[in-house]
Chain A
Amino acid sequence: MFDLSIVFSSVLNGLTMGAVYTLIALGLTLIYGVLHIINFAHGAALMVALYGVYFLKVKLGIDPYLALPVVVPSMFVVGYFLQKVIINHASHGKDENILLVTLGISIVLENLALLLFNSDTRNIETSYTLSTVAVGPAMIAIPKLLSCLGALVVSLMLIVFMRTTDLGRAIRAVAKEKAGARLMGIDVEHVYAMCFGIGLSCLGAAACFLLPAFYVNPTVGNGFVLVAFTIVVLGGMGSFLGACVGGLLIGVIESVGGLFLGDSLGQVGIFVIFILVLLVRPQGLFGLKA
Chain B
Amino acid sequence: MKSRRQFMSESALAASSLAFPLVGGAQAKAVKVGVVHPVTGALAYSGQQCREGALMAIDDVNKAGGIKSLGGAKLEALLGDAQSTPQGGSAEVEKMNEAGVSAIVGAFASAICLATTQTAAKYNLPHIVDVGVADQIVERGLKNTFRFGPGYKKCAEIAVANLHVLNTAAGKPAKTVMIIHEESLFGTGTAGLLSRELPGYGYDVKEVIKHPNPSRDFSNIVLRMKQINPDIVIPANYYNEYALLVRTMQQQKVVPKAIYSVLGGAASSYKFVKEYAEAANGIIDCNHWFNPKDKKAQELKKRAEAKGLYFSYELFMSYTAMKLLAQAIEEAKSTDRAAIIDALNKTKFSDHIMPYGPTQFVNGQNMGAQPLMTQVIKGDIKVIIPRDYREAEPIFPLNA
Q: Chain A residues in contact with chain B, CB under 8 A? A: 2-3, 6, 9-10, 13, 107, 110-111, 114, 118-121, 123, 125, 129-130, 132, 139, 141, 214-215, 217, 255, 258-259, 262-264, 266
- In the assembly, what is the distance between CA of A279 and CA of B212, in Å? 33
Q: Chain B residues in contact with chain A, CB under 8 A? A: 4, 7-8, 40-42, 44, 83-84, 209, 211-212, 214-217, 219-221, 223-224, 226-227, 240, 247, 250-253, 275-276, 279
Closest to B244 in A: A123
- In the assembly, what is the distance between CA of A3 and CA of B185, in Å? 33
Q: Using Cβ atoms and an 8 Å threshold, which residues of chain A touch B214?
A: 121, 215, 217
Are A263 and B41 in touch, CB under 8 angstroms?
A: no
Closest to A17 in B: B217
Closest to B183 in A: A264
Are B223 and A114 in touch, CB under 8 angstroms?
A: no
Closest to B84 in A: A119
Given A121-B42, A139-B251, A264-B212 in contact, is the A259-B8 Cβ separation under 8 Å?
A: no
Are B275 and A125 in touch, CB under 8 angstroms?
A: yes
Q: Using Cβ atoms and an 8 Å threshold, which residues of chain A touch B84?
A: 119
Are B215 and A121 in touch, CB under 8 angstroms?
A: no
Interface of A is mostly: loop
Given contacts A9-B226, A13-B219, A111-B4, 15 further A-B contacts (CB under 8 A): A3-B227, A9-B219, A10-B219, A10-B223, A118-B44, A120-B40, A120-B41, A121-B214, A125-B275, A130-B251, A130-B276, A215-B216, A259-B220, A262-B209, A266-B220
Q: Using Cβ atoms and an 8 Å threshold, which residues of chain A touch B275?
A: 125
Q: How far is the CB of B198 from chain A (nearest CB, A)?
A: 21
Q: How far is the CB of B271 from chain A (nearest CB, A)?
A: 12
- In the assembly, what is the distance between CA of A3 and CA of B275, in Å? 33
16 contacts between A and B (CB under 8 A): A2-B223, A2-B224, A3-B227, A13-B220, A120-B40, A121-B42, A121-B214, A123-B216, A129-B247, A132-B251, A141-B251, A215-B214, A262-B209, A263-B217, A263-B221, A266-B220
Closest to A264 in B: B212
Are A9 and B223 in touch, CB under 8 angstroms?
A: yes
- In the assembly, what is the distance between CA of A107 and CA of B224, in Å? 38
Q: Using Cβ atoms and an 8 Å threshold, which residues of chain B touch A119?
A: 40-41, 44, 83-84
- In the assembly, what is the distance between CA of A215 and CA of B217, in Å? 10
B40, B223, B224: the one contacting A118 at CB < 8 Å is B40
Given A6-B227, A120-B40, A121-B42 in contact, is the A132-B209 Cβ separation under 8 Å?
A: no
Q: Using Cβ atoms and an 8 Å threshold, which residues of chain B touch A264?
A: 212
Q: Using Cβ atoms and an 8 Å threshold, which residues of chain A touch B250?
A: 130
Are A6 and B223 in touch, CB under 8 angstroms?
A: yes
Are B212 and A132 in touch, CB under 8 angstroms?
A: no
Closest to B44 in A: A120
Are B220 and A139 in touch, CB under 8 angstroms?
A: no
Closest to A218 in B: B8
Closest to B224 in A: A259
Q: Using Cβ atoms and an 8 Å threshold, which residues of chain B touch A259?
A: 220, 223-224
Given A6-B227, A10-B220 in contact, is the A114-B251 Cβ separation under 8 Å?
A: no
Are A255 and B219 in touch, CB under 8 angstroms?
A: yes
Given A119-B83, A130-B247, A263-B215 in contact, is the A255-B252 Cβ separation under 8 Å?
A: no
Q: How far is the CB of A259 from chain B (nearest CB, A)?
A: 5
Are B4 and A6 in touch, CB under 8 angstroms?
A: no
Q: How far is the CB of A43 from chain B (nearest CB, A)?
A: 13
Given A120-B40, A132-B251 in contact, is the A255-B240 Cβ separation under 8 Å?
A: no
Are B216 and A214 in touch, CB under 8 angstroms?
A: yes
Are B216 and A255 in touch, CB under 8 angstroms?
A: no
Are A107 and B4 in touch, CB under 8 angstroms?
A: yes
Are A121 and B240 in touch, CB under 8 angstroms?
A: yes
Closest to A9 in B: B223
Q: Using Cβ atoms and an 8 Å threshold, which residues of chain A touch B211?
A: 263
Q: Using Cβ atoms and an 8 Å threshold, which residues of chain B touch A214?
A: 216
- In the assembly, what is the distance between CA of A175 and CA of B250, in Å? 49
Closest 10 CB pairs of A and B: A258-B220, A118-B40, A120-B44, A259-B220, A13-B219, A119-B41, A6-B227, A132-B251, A139-B252, A6-B223
Q: Using Cβ atoms and an 8 Å threshold, which residues of chain B touch A139?
A: 251-253
Q: Using Cβ atoms and an 8 Å threshold, which residues of chain B touch A114?
A: 8
Closest to B248 in A: A141
- In the assembly, what is the distance between CA of A214 and CA of B212, in Å? 16
Closest to B276 in A: A130
Q: Using Cβ atoms and an 8 Å threshold, which residues of chain A touch B44?
A: 118-120
- In the assembly, what is the distance between CA of A119 and CA of B83, in Å? 8
Q: Using Cβ atoms and an 8 Å threshold, which residues of chain B touch A3?
A: 227
Closest to A266 in B: B220
- In the assembly, what is the distance between CA of A263 and CA of B252, in Å? 18
Q: How far is the CB of A107 from chain B (nearest CB, A)?
A: 6
Are B40 and A132 in touch, CB under 8 angstroms?
A: no
Most buried by B among A110, A120, A141, A255: A120
- In the assembly, what is the distance between CA of A6 and CA of B229, in Å? 12
- In the assembly, what is the distance between CA of A255 and CA of B224, in Å? 12
Q: Using Cβ atoms and an 8 Å threshold, which residues of chain B touch A217?
A: 214
Closest to A12 in B: B219
Q: How far is the CB of B182 from chain A (nearest CB, A)?
A: 12
Closest to B216 in A: A215
Closest to A16 in B: B219
Q: Using Cβ atoms and an 8 Å threshold, which residues of chain A touch B226?
A: 6, 9
Q: How far is the CB of A260 from chain B (nearest CB, A)?
A: 9
- In the assembly, what is the distance between CA of A123 and CA of B7, in Å? 27
Q: Using Cβ atoms and an 8 Å threshold, which residues of chain A touch B40?
A: 118-120
